[in-house]
Structure 1
Amino acid sequence: MMPKFRTAGQRESVFNAEVISRFELYNSLFLTLPFYKVKDTGTLLPLFFKSCEEGVKEKQRPAEIIEGFFEKYTPGAETKDIHDLLFRFIQYIERQVVLFDAVEDASFSKLHTPDEQTSLKALLQRSAEHPALHERFQKLINDFSLRLVLTAHPTQFYPGTVLAIITDLTEAIKTNNLTEINTLLQQLGKTPFFNKNEVTPVHEALSLAWYLENVFYFAAANIQTETDQIFNEFNLESNKIVELGFWPGGDRDGNPNVHARTTIEVARMLRQILFRCYYRDFRNLKRRITFRGVEDTINVLQEVLYNNAFDNSIEGEDISAFLLENLNKIRETLINDHGGLFLEPVNNLIRKVDLFGCYFASLDIRQDSRVLRDVHAFCRQNKPINSLYPANYDELSESEKIGLISFKEARINFAEQGDDLVQDALQTIEEIRSIQKNNGVNACDRFIISNCQQASDILQLMELFLWNGWSLSNLTMDFVPLFETVKDLEVAAEVMETLYTHPVYQKHLASRGNKQDIMLGFSDSTKDGGYLMANWSIFKAKTELTAVSARHNIQLAFFDGRGGPPARGGGKTHRFYASMGREIANKNIQLTIQGQTISSQYGSVDSAEFNIEQLINAGISSGIKEKHNVLLDKEHSEVVAAMASESYEAFVALRQHPQFLPYLENFSPLRLLSKINISSRPVKRNKGRELRLEDLRAISFVNSWSQLKQNIPGFYGIGTALKNRENAGEWEKVSRTYQESGYFKTIIDNCMMSMSKADFSITAHLADDKEFGTFWKQLYEEYELSKAMLLKLSGLESLMANYPVDKKSIAVRERIVLPLVLIQHYALEKIRQAPADSVDAVFEKLAVRTVYGIVNAGRNTA
């Protein structure tokens, strides 16, 4: 059980005692470790820290700081020795970040206590006292669920080996086991943090599956157990409340390395890892249940579970019903003949089979609409459907296209093969059926269409299924539009209105329980329109989509594509869901968790349970209040709309600045990100073409700004917008909106979190740069303006003063990695100064190696 609720001041005191003090103690152990020249590294690193801090205060260039340090402390050292020491500094600091992670995670339950007033039990107790509220609660929980979808994005830098060490180190720190801590630090020092070989999508999936096996397998079951018990206390029927999704191996949008065979391989892997988890639990159960009456059933389960866990040649099938039948036989025997002895291990395994079936996590398929249009066009050239469409089909209007879509079930006779992307799409559509057969229908039953712009994008994809062996009567797939850009979000409701009124799509939705998932992308909308406009566009789209879905009696679920940082939809995520009004569908919370957010928020069973509970409680508390969202009131809506428009104009003007992309390329490691072997996905779309902003993936875009310690996508334009409202005499209106709207307040709080991780003093020397000085000043001035206006609006004395523990954690982490940031800027400076054809590879390697530690320390900066 979590300890009782603590005040912010109490939590800050615990943080100082439990985290800061412990980190300083265990950090000193590094000096005693038997690594190559570690004593020199450990002795010089504090001096290097001091030189970095002093140099930044004096606005020195990174090269001045670093070269000055070596002249002072290692005079006469060879260039090779200097570079060698810089690499050892990097390795040392990377491990300091891991140690801080482990120390903070060890204190998690003491630092993060749930608000007792918004706990599930407290909500039920209040609702029981008010019949109308209790009725709403009953209706809500019949449908309520939370789906967490793990995605493969290139900011999860810890390999499985390091994650395992962190887990063990965390447990050792909890008990202050110095001998074990010392041994684990030695292991950490000798364990590589990065891959030398190129990462494949299957490697990605295997790495991410570590969390499924070691965290979510336990956390989801524990949450379900607790929820069932609470509902049972109040005579309410429980349902499956936590679901897991998975993107590695299924997400091929912009990733040419994902193929149909990849998807099949990942689906098999997920199944086998799950059965190994089941078998591990079953062995523990078997050791206890040694009674008469269950021997035959135990033996049957032993063989089935073992074969499915370890026999790679076995033909998979959905045997979840068989497992439940036999486990329930054991359960009944224990109750009837043995007084219920050791009943809990059986109940626990039954619960897990109920939750995970034979698939563990649902594998989503995702592809860009432009690719799928090409696939549709390729199919139209072949018999027997080539006669159904005119040659100029692609040039027709949207309504004309929809009128021609016939939904004929046919087997196409391909005259020739299409290109790689076309063939992959067709093969994947075929293979989904075998995944459903082997792992269960829920194993792979969603196809997400990225960059969805029109209803025909969905309808044409349905046709592709019908042309490749599927039938309308048995189309066990959900088609999920993903609206990403500001423009696409504006027309989202219109697109869905067209789909909801289409007779074939209506029939398909009815076969799927009249449920529709719609995905909304924060990352690309931020990159497209800036932080405030992205959030406002998504809010408006959600209200409009909720209304149109309600008119057609469709149960809508929003699937939020949230990245780690506020600029990509992260931050205090649960507060967004808690602040929804009745105008926004919130019964089924679905969101991606990605990058270092996975390890920081779901890296241990404790942290995963806490954050899952926060999301569940936020969704339920919002749903039962039936409150109106004040942002829909005319005054509040007009204020935020004006601010969103003004911040959008400021951000677009910045993007269109001729120095915008050159600045990012010169002073961040953007061009070097492709050299980091952590992801199978390219840094940008249209590989091989000259870098263009529209081709740059949002994660690389945001990550580059965070490496620069400027976090432009997380705030730029909001200071201008607030100042404009003040100048227009509307400050009181803005202030009222901030006080009355939880949604708007969360936007502001997350913006301040993003700004807390920025530090313009590191690049202050650029103010005098002949080429980019003016541009740097423009960025800095907007930062200072935004900071001043946000503090005035919130009434805080400093950024994140209302979250003192988070603020202190950020400050410690940023201090730890300051040398990494300066080493990176030093290396980039050397690269800029060298002729293009004679760049020393060591500087590229230095810059690349620093990225790992900077991102890991930031936890949600990319």
Structure 2
Amino acid sequence: MTQDKDAPLREDIRLLGRLLGDTVRDQQGEASFELIERIRQTSVRFRRDDDLAARRELEGTLDALSREQTIQVVRAFSYFSHLANIAEDQHHIRRSRAHLLAGSAPREGSLSHAIAHVLDNNIASPAELGSFFDTALVSPVLTAHPTEVQRKSILNCQTVIARLLDERDRMQLTPEESAANLDALRRAVLTLWQTRMLRPARLSVIDEVSNGVSYFETTFLSELPRLYAGLEDRLAAADPNLAGHELPAFLQVGSWIGGDRDGNPFVTAEVLERALTMQASAALGYYLDELHTLGSQLSLALGLVSASDALLALADHSPDHSPHRSDEPYRRAISGIYARLSATHRALLGTDPVRHPVADAAPYPSVDAFAADLDTIHRSLVANGSAALARGRLRQLRRALKVFGFHLAPIDLRQNSDVHERVVAELLALAQPGTDYLSLDESGRCELLLNELATARPLASPHVSYSADTESELAIFRAARAAHLRFGQAAIRNCIISKTDDVSDLLELAVLLKEAGLLRPLENALDVNIIPLFETIGDLDNAAAVMDRLFSIPLYRGLLSESRDDSQEVMLGYSDSNKDGGFLTSGWALYKAEGELIEVFGRHGIRLRLFHGRGGSVGRGGGPSYQAILAQPEGAVQGQIRLTEQGEVIAAKYGNPEVGRRNLEVLVAATIESSLRADGAKPTPATFIDAMQQLSDTAFQSYRGLVYETPGFEQYFWESTVIAEIAGLNIGSRPASRKKGTRIEDLRAIPWVFSWSQCRLMLPGWYGFGSAVKQWLASHPDDGLAQLQAMYRDWSFFSTLLSNMDMVLAKTDLAIASRYAALVKDVALRTSIFERIRHEWQATVDALLAITGQAELLADNPLLKRSIRNRFPYLDPLNHVQVELLRRHREQGDDERIRLGIHISINGVAAGLRNSG
């Protein structure tokens, strides 16, 4: 009999659903429970049996709800979405463990699979693979964006529930233990029900920093060292000569939270300083706790074990003179280290840690000095027969320190090129009266900027008053310089320029860095990476030419050679390019830009590091990270890659420690496989390139024709989606639009995609593909389909593109989307636009199935198909209720309870979709 591998998942979902139902009955009464249960059963019948009578019954019931009934229904189904997510995560962990316990072959995306792939195919020897990490960099970067809809309090409740489910799964519980676990689950679900889902006030940047830090405390501080240890042990198993070899800190988690000023006026120098302090507090607090526990564990006594002279000297210098520990040098050494780290906490943060040291001591002057003391303990243990002890908590602590330092995570600075331009123009005008920087052409601007960069003389003067924008920008860079002196240069490594379109944009930032001492011309020193962000289709097409001109400037090239190891990072914008040109054209423009950048960088002898501005949704470059990295053009990764982790995807990927480690492992595995490829890889056939360009051109015209050239489309978008309500939801510190007004050009890409996801159209993730394929087949009637099928079969870029589109189309529901369309007041407008969208959707589905050979959507993705089957019966009622609430809200005005219901429904739909922003 075949084992039903998904049975435990269904059992967990049923258990959590039953506990939620019991909670609703106890807290809201039998009538509320029966109403919610009737809606649930009707929705399941409609979704699973395609019962049209059930659909009519469901819509009739939902439309007739009173205001208070609506709130209860929305809360119940929203919380069920959260609980289903927990059950799914737990099932992923369960299945991964089952594979390991069964001794199955390593799974794709695991480090074991990546290492076996490289070694078994003789791509590299174990020693060569070990040295690969010497220059590698893998860095997911957390960003705060207005699709992060979960409060930290809700995440805390979910963590408790996940831990209790895990306990039931892994442990053989006695009847009493099982009953206690069930009681604890019941309490956790009750706590979740009684915890406010939404914030009463808009999230501040500092709140976002706190949320970001929580993922380090929950996942990264503990799981990153475990991942490193596992990788080192795998390499040692492949080559005994690598036993004891410690990898450099190539895998690091970065952050934009507190440093991203593009369109966010609330990120100031003071906020940046607070963000750095909060991060340092988390790192130092973790180290102090680990030292305290380590001291209790290393109770080794002289006479039973030896110690090195360096360790004995460390113990002798310790302020711990307790006679009870006189023969315990390791404990005394650790007490001394704790005292010094406690003093470091006081020196860096101005406060004492919660647990005081045995006595005062001098603070550490640097992270390296702290690391040296831990290394002394490590070497003494290894040299005196206690290597096994060195591989425990001490190994974890030493690795954490290498990765997180005193700063926890490097914070990137980001600002729009327009702001830099205005600030530089003002500085030049006041320093050199008569200078009109803004009136100069590109050549004139570069000449003037290069003259400034050739001298150490600052432009800014403390005796001159500047505009608020200029003062703010100068303060940010000065704060960055102060952070380098306080926490080390690792605290702030990167400055990113949004909307880069020419060389002067990079030179303007260089001038501003010079003002703060972060670029020092006389020393040819540059303390941070200057990173252009190419976002629109036009900017992506121009990216390689801009970098070619930049590298031809001796002054800039010299900075790279002297201070940046002949490396240059380039960021590519997925979301804005998608909003600008549509899904297909965005993906193709990004792919082409990468190929052109590889050629330019190779010609100039500069190492390329790409920073991918991926979002959670496919409409913003999301989708499975493993396949996305492997689908990069050959030479695009080169052992180094950074990518953004955004919105509610951060919680989905890193809220659970074990799931978080798995996601980090996927990034490393994909980077290894993409960088170390077998020789003789065939270039992409020219016929594929030509076909893709033709498809892109047609898709671009189709997408632009709808979004930017159709009269009334802007009105359709604002009336048929929750964009207006999202703008008022307290889910982020950043405004939804860059400027006041409703122009789609000014709207941020994140709420643009998020809004289409909420109404279940997912338009940014597929629109234009159907038209493109239809025209291609019409112009290639004999072999057109066969060629597209060959592209899908033999080109990872194209197959990944279609796989992501498959996922988005499966999450699209035109029946539900039509109810949102009905909110558009102009009947003729809504009919013409929605029918156009419906026609394109059908054409896209038909094209996708014809190319892939699938009989239905997700035929090759049973895991996602299962997920949709489990959760969509609980998601559909939320959408139906949301439409009714939007209608009432727009007809009746500002009713606080109706607004609350809308906002809760937004939360629930986002949780159910998991990658909506």
TM over 0.5: yes
Pair 1:493–1:626, CA change in 2 (3 A): farther
How far off is 1:49 after superposition?
3.6
Distance 1:524 1:306 in 2: 46
Q: Tell me the amino acid that sits aligned with residue 818 of structure 2.
A: A
Determine if the alignment matches structure 1 residue 313 to structure 2 residue 350.
Answer: yes
Distance 2:819 2:207 in 1: 41
Pair 1:268–1:62, CA change in 2 (3 A): farther
Q: Counterparts of 1:130-145 in structure 2 under 5 Å?
A: 133-134=124-125, 137=129, 140-145=132-137
Cα pair 1:150 1:592 within 8 Å, conserved: yes
**SS of the counterpart of 1:143?**
coil
2:22 to 22, 32, 52: 32
Aligned residue in 2 for 1:668: 721
Deviations, residues 235-293 of structure 1 (Å, cap 9, x unaligned): 45633231110111000101111111000100010000111111222222111112322
2:423 to 375, 380, 392: 375
Determine if the alignment matches structure 1 residue 451 to structure 2 residue 455.
Answer: no
Pair 1:128–1:749, CA change in 2 (3 A): closer
Aligned residue in 1 for 2:900: 845
Pair 1:704–1:658, CA change in 2 (3 A): same
Aligned residue in 1 for 2:445: 401
**SS of the counterpart of 1:589?**
strand
How far off is 1:122 after superposition?
4.9
Aligned residue in 2 for 1:555: 607
Q: Tell me the amino acid that sits aligned with residue 248 of structure 1.
A: I
Aligned residue in 1 for 2:284: 275
**SS of the counterpart of 2:854?**
coil
Pair 1:628–1:792, CA change in 2 (3 A): farther
> Share of identical aligned residues, percent?
24
Q: Tell me the amino acid that sits aligned with residue 313 of structure 1.
A: G
Aligned residue in 2 for 1:742: 796
How far off is 1:127 after superposition?
4.6
Pair 1:122–1:662, CA change in 2 (3 A): closer
Pair 1:826–1:309, CA change in 2 (3 A): farther
Distance 2:122 2:20 in 1: 61
Cα pair 2:581 2:700 within 8 Å, conserved: yes
How far off is 1:627 after superposition?
5.9
Aligned residue in 2 for 1:110: 94
Distance 2:887 2:601 in 1: 54
Distance 1:38 1:208 in 2: 38
Pair 1:653–1:131, CA change in 2 (3 A): closer
1:776 to 811, 818, 834: 834
Distance 1:731 1:313 in 2: 68
How far off is 1:422 after superposition?
2.2
Q: Counterparts of 1:165-314 in structure 2 under 5 Å?
A: 165-176=157-168, 177-233=181-237, 234=239, 235=241, 238-291=247-300, 292-308=328-344, 312-314=349-351
TM-score after normalising by structure 1: 0.92
How far off is 1:26 after superposition?
2.4
Pair 1:496–1:346, CA change in 2 (3 A): same
Distance 1:635 1:248 in 2: 44
How far off is 1:63 after superposition?
12
**SS of the counterpart of 2:299?**
coil
Cα pair 1:317 1:440 within 8 Å, conserved: no
Deviations, residues 522-567 of structure 1 (Å, cap 9, x unaligned): 0000000000100100000001111111111111110001100111
Q: How many residues align?
A: 834
Q: Tell me the amino acid that sits aligned with residue 734 of structure 2.
A: R
1:758 to 771, 792, 812: 812
**SS of the counterpart of 1:14?**
coil
Distance 1:558 1:815 in 2: 40
Determine if the alignment matches structure 1 residue 438 to structure 2 residue 486.
Answer: yes
Aligned residue in 2 for 1:527: 579
Distance 1:62 1:399 in 2: 64
How far off is 1:443 after superposition?
0.7
Cα pair 1:766 1:772 within 8 Å, conserved: no
Q: Tell me the amino acid that sits aligned with residue 777 of structure 2.
A: E
Deviations, residues 470-491 of structure 1 (Å, cap 9, x unaligned): 4232431110100010000011
Distance 1:107 1:503 in 2: 56
Distance 2:644 2:365 in 1: 26
| Greater mean alpha carbon deviation, residues 483-492 or residues 578-587 | 578-587
Distance 2:63 2:514 in 1: 68
How far off is 1:750 after superposition?
0.4
How far off is 1:417 after superposition?
3.6
Cα pair 1:558 1:586 within 8 Å, conserved: no
How far off is 1:658 after superposition?
1.7
Pair 1:731–1:631, CA change in 2 (3 A): farther
Q: Which runs of 5+ in 2 are unaligned?
A: 169-180, 301-327, 353-362
Cα pair 2:637 2:674 within 8 Å, conserved: no
| Greater mean alpha carbon deviation, residues 191-200 or residues 36-45 | 36-45
How far off is 1:318 after superposition?
6.2
How far off is 1:625 after superposition?
1.5
Cα pair 1:629 1:741 within 8 Å, conserved: no
Distance 1:59 1:187 in 2: 37
Pair 1:128–1:704, CA change in 2 (3 A): closer
Cα pair 1:824 1:850 within 8 Å, conserved: yes
Aligned residue in 2 for 1:323: 370
1:618 to 670, 678, 684: 670
TM-score after normalising by structure 2: 0.86
Pair 1:760–1:129, CA change in 2 (3 A): closer
Distance 1:789 1:125 in 2: 37
How far off is 1:508 after superposition?
1.0
Aligned residue in 2 for 1:861: 916
**SS of the counterpart of 1:358?**
coil
Aligned residue in 2 for 1:595: 647
Q: Counterparts of 1:12-31 in structure 2 under 5 Å?
A: 13-15=4-6, 17-31=7-21
Determine if the alignment matches structure 1 residue 89 to structure 2 residue 73.
Answer: yes
Distance 2:118 2:56 in 1: 63
Pair 1:501–1:59, CA change in 2 (3 A): farther
Pair 1:767–1:356, CA change in 2 (3 A): closer
Distance 1:127 1:690 in 2: 53
Distance 1:706 1:358 in 2: 39
Pair 1:379–1:270, CA change in 2 (3 A): same
Determine if the alignment matches structure 1 residue 366 to structure 2 residue 414.
Answer: yes
How far off is 1:42 after superposition?
2.2
Distance 2:582 2:287 in 1: 46
**SS of the counterpart of 1:625?**
coil
1:506 to 554, 557, 560: 557
Distance 1:673 1:318 in 2: 47
Q: Which runs of 5+ in 1 are unaligned?
A: 1-8, 75-81
Deviations, residues 494-519 of structure 1 (Å, cap 9, x unaligned): 11111111111111111111111111
Q: Counterparts of 1:782-797 in structure 2 under 5 Å?
A: 782-797=840-855
Distance 1:785 1:142 in 2: 49
Distance 2:45 2:123 in 1: 63
**SS of the counterpart of 2:645?**
strand
Aligned residue in 2 for 1:825: 883
Distance 1:54 1:182 in 2: 28
Q: Tell me the amino acid that sits aligned with residue 36 of structure 2.
A: L
